[in-house]
Amino acid sequence: MPLEWSGLSPDLLLDIDRDGGGPLRSQLERQIRDAIRTQRLRVGERLPSTRALARTLGLSRGLVQDCYAQLQAEGYLVARPGAATQVAAGAGVPAAPTPPPAAPPQLLADFRWGVPDLSAFPLSDWMWATRDAARTLPTAALDYGDPRGSAALREVLAGYLRRVRAAAADPERIVICSGYAQGLGLALRALARTGVHTAAYEDPGSPARLSSTMSWAGLSAVPVPVDAHGIDVRALAATGARAVVVTPAHQWPTGVVMSPERRLALIEWARHRDAVIIEDDYDAEFRYDREPVGALQGLAPDRVISMGTVSKSLAPALRLGWMLCPPALAEHITMHKQLNDRGSPTLDQLALARMIESGRFDRHLRRMRTAYAARRTALVAALAAHAPEARVTGLAAGFHAVVHLGGSTDEQTVIAAARARSVGLYGMRACRTAPAAQETQLVLGFGNVGERALTAGIAAVGDLLRGERPGPARPGPRSRPGPP
């Protein structure tokens, strides 16, 4: 489809050679003709008015009118009274037909992990915050500014994290980043610059993402096992690593909370090894039937880089996150942020600051805790009804659960059979560095699937979760994965 410019169309780049390039009209005709033949100008696309094009090129309007008339006669252009001149249908060299991209299959329920309820994004609050921030935006704030980010947002975040996460947050050592991925990359590059050669990560965890990011930063990556109390610090000490990425408040994906003893042991390891802990505080806002757990950074601000984002609390598309940096690394991380992109978008930062200051952010979190708690209850009830022998863990916080199916059920077989029934299931194998001879486990996200779809999805695959042999796909009503 041609582009429809809602106002004045952009200028059309044409190059007129007045020094030996031939008659001006011939040059103009040839260039427009070539632009249509090569599909630089597509069928239906508007051309500038003869008056505007003549003014832009420094030609007479009559010459441009004659050029347009000739190209209309040749079938390249079409003009109607009161309408703009357009590229005619059938003009140009037809491009090879490109099949449209296949639409993703519409699933009865998609238990994809890591995605919040996108339909619940507080759009009206975000629009209000953006307008309010823009209304009071000083002109100086439109400059490049501090690579660490807006001083206003850093000040608000420091107060918020001190209050909500018991963090030792100093706005002078907060760096705003474009989400967790960029923050992790900045932290690892800074560590490599200070002489760290090996970094560790939790297993199970996010092996593909973490190992590739560590390799990109110039570090060797080693997995360290996780048990019921968190990362195995003794195994970590045996690796020789001087950095480790952990999820202490709600371990991804097992859901265990790092015990107080393990936290102290991890901090002692960092001090003994002159090492740094990277804390991914990814979904600490959502807890249900457990006491709140403070940030690890609050216990050792000189040894912990704590990272948080709004990807789970608001939406991933905002690409907004923050890093609480130890004094020894703050300058290095800021330098890498400066080299990387010179700073994150200021208006979005100010909008987030207004959201938090106004209480609208906290109101949204409270509303979503209630919604996710209801979905958690629905998931547990559906599993109890259709797969009563399946054990469910990791439900004390966040919006994903681990479903244990036992050792006789093959993970990939269950996932493939469920997909044939239009249900998206996801396994623990993708979270492990190497296949383990353990019971089959599924990691089911319920953040972006409504209660009715969730219940229907579990009912459709109940026999698979019970370990029965997959039968033929059973068609059922299709619904969107979002909330009903």
**Is the same domain home to 329 and 384?**
no
Domain shared by 277 and 161, yes or no: yes
Residue 16 lies in a domain: no
Q: 150 is written with which tokens?
A: 């807006």
Final residue before a domain boundary, out of 289, 312, 342: 342
| Distances in whole angstroms, Cα of residue 31 to Cα of each of 19, 23, 47, 94 | 16, 12, 13, 18
Q: Are residues 410 and 274 in the same domain?
A: no
Residues 377, 416 share a domain: yes
Domain range for residue 437?
109-115+363-465
Is the same domain home to 64 and 193? Answer: no
Residue 436 pLDDT grade (very low, low, confident, very high; cuts 50, 70, 90): low
Q: Could you tell me which residue, 471 or 48, shows the higher pLDDT?
A: 48
Percent of the chain with pLDDT over 90: 79
Q: How far apart are CA 417 and CA 423, in angstroms?
A: 9
322-370: pLDDT as tens digits:
999 999 999 999 999 999 999 999 999 999 999 999 999 999 999 999 9
Q: Is the pLDDT of residue 481 over 90?
A: no
% of the chain residues with pLDDT over 70: 92
Q: CA-CA distance, 291 to 311, in Å (whole number)?
A: 23
| Contact of 368 with 286, CB cutoff 8 Å | yes
CATH of the domain at 53: 1.10.10.10
Residue 348 domain flag: no
Q: What is the CATH number of the domain that holds 212?
A: 3.40.640.10
Q: How far apart are CA 96 and CA 443, in angstroms?
A: 43
Does residue 168 sit within a domain? yes
> Which DSSP state fits 288?
S
Question: In this structure, which amino acid lies at residue 61?
Answer: R
pLDDT at 257 over 70: yes
Tell me, yes or no, whether 9 lies in a domain. no
Answer whether residue 358 is part of any domain: no
**First and final C-alpha spacing in the chain:** 33
| pLDDT at position 94 | 62
Residues 275 and 193 in one domain: yes
Domain count, the chain: 3
Residue 152 lies in a domain: yes
Backbone angles phi, psi at 239, to 5 degrees: -80, -20
> At which of 342, 372, 403 does a domain end?
342
- Given a contact cutoff of 8 angstroms between Cβ atoms, the answer to whether 146 and 137 are in contact is no
| Cα separation, 77 vs 64, whole angstroms | 13
- The answer for residues whose C-beta is within 8 angstroms of residue 360's C-beta and 6 or more apart is 122, 125, 128, 129
Is residue 278 domain-shared with residue 170, that is, in the same domain? yes
Q: Does residue 231 lie in a domain region? A: yes
- 165 and 67, same structural domain? no
Same domain? 391 vs 279: no
Query: Is-cis flag, bond preceding 204, omega within 30?
Result: yes
Establish if 188 belongs to a structural domain.
yes
pLDDT for position 479: 45
pLDDT: is 102 or 319 the higher one?
319
Q: Are 305 and 268 in the same domain?
A: yes
Give the position of tokens 């008659």.
23
CATH number at residue 404: 3.90.1150.10
Do 370 and 415 have their domain in common?
yes
CA angle in degrees (0–180, nearest 5) for 395-397-402: 35
Tens of pLDDT, residues 162-217: 999 999 999 999 999 999 999 999 999 999 999 999 999 999 999 999 999 999 99
Give the pLDDT confidence score for residue 474 in this predicted structure: 56
Backbone angles phi, psi at 254, to 5 degrees: -70, -25
pLDDT tens by residue, 260-272? 999 999 999 999 9
Question: pTM value?
Answer: 0.88
The pair of structure tokens assigned to 244 is: 């480790």
pLDDT of residue 97: 66
Assess whether 81 and 194 both reside in one domain.
no
